Structure 1
Amino acid sequence: MILIQSWQQASKNAHAIRKQVFIEEQGVPQELELDEFDPLCWHALAFEGTQCIGTGRLVAMGVNEGQIGRMAVLPCFRGKGTGKAILLKLIKLAQSQNISSLMLHSQVLAIPFYEKYGFTPQGPIYEEAGIDHRNMIILLPISH
């Protein structure tokens, strides 16, 4: 089950997932993990029963533009479709908000995952929080 929540509703579960995946597993500095965008985002939370197992977020960045970020799934739940379900829920949410262009900062190792869902790499590889990333974009049909 994937729920869409405000930061106020999602912060406890989303931060717990992101702390485990980004800070503890990947070594992202704690001060970079939470940012000023969290309160402005819609947060997707994946649940297995009552346990939150994954998260992602969507923020509107401008007229018809959005950005997906902070996609994370707990290690023991990876490879079971949770990331796909979170991503597709965020894409559907973006369309419902008339967002026609979605961007994300993909870790280089995750590029093939996002390509499966229509995202295209753009620009050079760069370092973010000590990890190689590349921007990716998808253009969405607007739902009426």
Structure 2
Amino acid sequence: MKCIIANNQKHFYDQVIVRSKVFLIEQKVPIEEEIDYLDSEATQFIVYDDNDNAIGAARFRIVHHIGKVERVCVLKEYRKKGVGSLIMNTIENYAKSLGIKEMMLNAQLTAIPFYERLGYHAEGEIILDANIEHRKMTKKI
């Protein structure tokens, strides 16, 4: 299994497919909220299994000197198999290479325990994003 930066047309296509399966189909997020203008300025990450099947994705942006992780998703049949941890570790290492010292994300409430295991801390109130409850989480790296 490998997590890489999407740097060609196949990678971009694959990450859109994974995100669509998770957010549009499984979670019923409206397409206009899932695909946005920030995709063009973000660094996209894609995970492939050992058979070169796309199984996870995320995007990363730098906002006010903080690394922001967004759109983290893993296909249902691959969850609880280390894919999410691989995505987050890869993005954090990338962020460190850019001199980033702090990470943040908005986690769906059901995903908070996962991010806590990775050292993230929840802050503030519950917010609604795409009609799904989230909380801001941060981590020093």
- Normalised-by-shorter TM-score class: over 0.9
Give 1:136 deviation, angstroms. Answer: 0.3
Query: Does the CA contact (< 8 Å) of 1:7 and 1:41 recur in 2?
Result: no
Taking the TM superposition and a 5 Å limit, the aligned residue runs for 1:1-144 are: 1-6=2-7, 10-48=11-49, 49-63=51-65, 65-140=66-141
CA distance in 2, matches of 1:100, 1:58: 14
The Cα of 1:5 is off from its aligned counterpart by 2.2
3-state DSSP class of the match of 2:5?
strand
Structure 1: unaligned runs, 5 residues or longer: none
Once residues 8 and 126 of structure 1 are traced to their aligned partners in structure 2, the CA distance between those partners, rounded to angstroms, is: 34
Dislocated runs of 4+, deviation >3 Å: 6-10
- C-alpha distance in structure 1 between counterparts of 2:37 and 2:99, whole Å: 23
**With structure 1 as the length reference, what TM-score do the two structures score?**
0.91
Cα RMSD between the aligned structures? 1.3
Q: CA deviation at 1:10?
A: 3.3
Deviations 1:2-46 (A, max 9, x none): 111248663211110111100100010111101111111111111
Aligned letter for 1:22? F
CA deviations 1:63-93 (Å, max 9, x no partner) are 3x11001000111111110011011100111
List gaps (5 residues or longer) in structure 2.
none
Q: TM-score, normalised by structure 2?
A: 0.93
Could you tell which deviates more after superposition, 84-93 or 54-63? 54-63
Identity of aligned residues (%): 32
Distance in 1 of aligned mates of 2:21 and 2:106: 19
